[in-house]
Amino acid sequence: MRLKARRSALALAVLITAGCSFGGGAATQKNAPTTAAPLDAGPVTGILEMMSALPQGDPAAQAEIFQSVKDAADLTPTTTNKLRYALALATPGHSGSDPVAAERHLSELLARPETLLPSERMLALIELKQVEQRLVLLAEAKRLRDDAARDTQGEKLAAVNRRLAAESDENARLRKALDEARAKLEAVTHIERSINDRGSTVPTNP
């Protein structure tokens, strides 16, 4: 339902915004009050229907629609077919969606605006803005994921360092205890040797 509302809003924007843009500009230049003629949305009706239907079907139906649009753009690369393909790439919710490629194709089409009908040009402009905003959001989401991953790695590294420090302290304690035990053993050995030496030097009576 949200997608249908979005497509309806796009169609309305094509009719109103573009109509005001073209008609209003002419009225300003002539300095005469005129009524801006509504922009004919007929040329983009089929494209809007395709964009609405594409994300709604099951994966097989989505793939079929997308492939037919792509084939038409490859085999019969008219401006309209290339626009349909660019907008299919821009439509989210299906496996063929590719905002990076959509931005490239839409920018290429809009680089030659004279090849597009007014309603096609306005629809391409609107969708290009949508794609650019989507790419910004995707980049921000990736940055947040990377930051979270780095934080997690930092926490793991800190835990490893704490464990190594604890093991180092334990090893130092064991070495100290071993040194003390060795010193005690040497002291006992020295005492025993002294006793044995005194015993061997005591004269015996005949």
pLDDT at 1: 45
Does residue 35 carry a pLDDT above 50? no
Please state which of the ranges 21-35, 65-79, 177-191 shows the lowest mean pLDDT: 21-35
pTM equals 0.57
In the predicted model, what is the mean pLDDT of residues 114-137? 92
Please state which of the ranges 11-15, 97-101, 136-140, 141-145 shows the lowest mean pLDDT: 11-15
Residue 204 to residue 206: CA distance in whole angstroms: 7
In the predicted model, what is the mean pLDDT of residues 23-48? 58
Does residue 34 carry a pLDDT above 50? no
Does residue 18 carry a pLDDT above 50? no
pLDDT at 205: 59
DSSP string, the chain: -HHHHHHHHHHHHHHHHHHHHHHHHHHHHHTS--PPPPP--HHHHHHHHHHHHTTTS-HHHHHHHHHHHHHHHHHS--HHHHHHHHHHHH--SSTT--HHHHHHHHHHHHTSGGGS-HHHHHHHHHHHHHHHHHHHHHHHHHHHHHHHHHHHHHHHHHHHHHHHHHHHHHHHHHHHHHHHHHHHHHHHHHHHHHHHHHHHHSPPP-
pLDDT at 121: 92
**pLDDT tens string 4-17:** 445 545 554 544 44
pLDDT at 11: 53
Which of 4, 106, 30 is CA-nearest to residue 98?
106
pLDDT at 199: 65
In the predicted model, what is the mean pLDDT of residues 109-124? 92
Residue 69 to residue 88: CA distance in whole angstroms: 8
Q: Which comes out higher in pLDDT, residue 62 or 151?
A: 62
The vertex-198 CA angle with 193 and 204, nearest 5°, equals 140
